[in-house]
Copies of this chain bind each other. A is one copy, B any other.
Amino acid sequence: MKYGARNEITATVTKIKKGEVMCQVDVGDIIANKMSSVMTMESIEEMGLKEGDKVKVVVKAVSVLLIKE
């Protein structure tokens, strides 16, 4: 199974909150050795981002795809 995405994390479902149309699934026991972001060159220059910098990695839950292999 090969995915056209840079972020592949292994985890375990810890909680499921169900609504009428949508639901929220929380996961824990997260194993994530590496993550990647893609942004514009303009953004990285304005951030002055360089190797070694501490960053916050923010992802909206709607952009997170869960796969049950």
Contact = CB atoms under 8 A, between A and B. Distances in A.
Nearest to A41: B23
A17 B49 CA distance: 12
Contact of A37 (B1, B4, B10): B4
B66 A38 contact: no
A13 B64 CA distance: 21
Q: How many copies does the complex hold?
A: 6
B5 A39 contact: yes
A13 B52 contact: yes
Given A16-B51, A53-B12, A60 B24 contact: no
A12 to B, nearest CB: 6
Closest 7 pairs (CB-CB, A-B): A19-B21, A63-B63, A19-B20, A37-B64, A7-B59, A4-B66, A6-B61
